[in-house]
Amino acid sequence: MLKAMQNWHRPLVVFGWAMVALIPIALVGLLVDDRTVMNSPIWLKPFKFAVSLALYSFTLAWLLTFLRRFQRVGWWAGTVLTVAGAAEMVVIVGQVIRGKRSHFNFETPLDTALFSIMGSTIVVLWVTHAIVAILLWRTDIEDKAFSWSIRLGLVISFLGLGVGFLMTSPKPGQALDGDTLGSHTIGAADGGAYMAVTGWSTEHGDLRIGHFVGMHALQVLPLLILLAGRWANARLAWVISGGYLGFTLLTTWQALRGQALVKPDALTLIVAAAIVVATALGVAWARQTPKNTKKEYVLA
């Protein structure tokens, strides 16, 4: 695995390992630092971001090895994405050291400037992700099921990243000249009761759920296709991608209605059941098609 990484996109790999190194540091911070921000342990955000960005950067670094054309464009897109991600993490960790919240913080000119930097890095990351998605969409990969899982995973993760922009809009009761502008939570201010590890609200809607689910389609969908083995084909890739997209949209819609993930109403449960049934029927349909000729993929 480590030897194979030598052929991956170097800046993304370095950034990925930097995030891996940050994980134990954040864990120690969670154990020894009792400071909180918005009722949450101050080191929880760096921990979650480090885990998420490590997975994301390693996955992209590997996927870029499939490019046969426009490799230089892909390299620059990955490099710019790395710089944007690194800048965001510097702000997040820097604000932890200062004992400040990084997101939606307009308390001082410095806090405002730092959050503005984060906003810019997210836009850059979103655009460069789109460039990588376009390049890989146009890349011919022999295994059609795997190819479609990558393409559709990139599109869904692009949408998931876009959910982040919904968090930055002013929420009811917030003034444009106030200390806070935007929030993760819908229906209440950030800082209420939350789930362990994820930090998602257990009382109100939380846009981070759809953001997280959508973003990590990039890892989940190709993995499911690889696990499907001889049953995998292009139709199955489309079916499971459709189901995954359905749950990404459902969790986002649920949050926008101010409803906690753990407290779904009847309408949410009905829609979730419909997605499950439709996906199950789709899987049964996909298995009736000729089996995909699998190609073993090594992480090289």
Instruction: Note the pLDDT tens digit of each residue in 203-248.
Output: 999 999 999 999 999 999 999 999 998 889 999 999 999 999 999 9
For 66-119, write each residue's pLDDT tens digit: 998 899 999 999 999 999 999 999 999 999 999 999 988 899 999 999 999 998
pLDDT score at 297: 55
CA distances to 56, 63, 149, 179, 266 from 121, rounded to whole Å, are 15, 22, 27, 21, 38
The tokens for 62 are: 């590997």
Tell me how far apart the terminal alpha carbons of the chain are, to the nearest angstrom.
8
Can you give the pLDDT at residue 138? 87
Q: Give the pLDDT of residue 289.
A: 61
Q: How far from 50 is each of 59, 82, 92, 200, 213, CA to CA, in Å?
A: 14, 13, 10, 17, 16
Where do the domains of the chain lie, and which CATH numbers do they carry? Answer: 1-140 (1.20.120), 142-300 (no CATH)
Find the angle CA(111)-CA(191)-CA(89) to the nearest 5 degrees: 45
Cα gap 206→155, rounded to integer Å: 22
Picking from 20, 8, 54, the residue whose alpha carbon sits closest to that of residue 219 is 54
- Round to whole Å and give the CA distance between 44 and 263: 23
Q: pLDDT tens digit string along 126-138?
A: 999 999 999 999 8
Tens digits of residue pLDDT in 274-292: 999 999 999 999 988 655 5
Contact 136, 67 (CB under 8 A): yes
Percent of the chain with pLDDT over 70: 94
Q: What is the pTM of this model?
A: 0.90
Q: Is the pLDDT of residue 178 over 90?
A: no
- Say how far apart CA 272 and CA 253 lie, in whole Å: 12
Confidence of residue 296 (pLDDT cuts 50, 70, 90): low
Cα 89 → chain centroid: 15
* CA dist list (Å): 280 to 97, 141, 143, 213: 48, 27, 23, 20
Tell me which H or E stretch contains 30: helix 10-32
Which H or E run contains 37?
A: strand 36-37
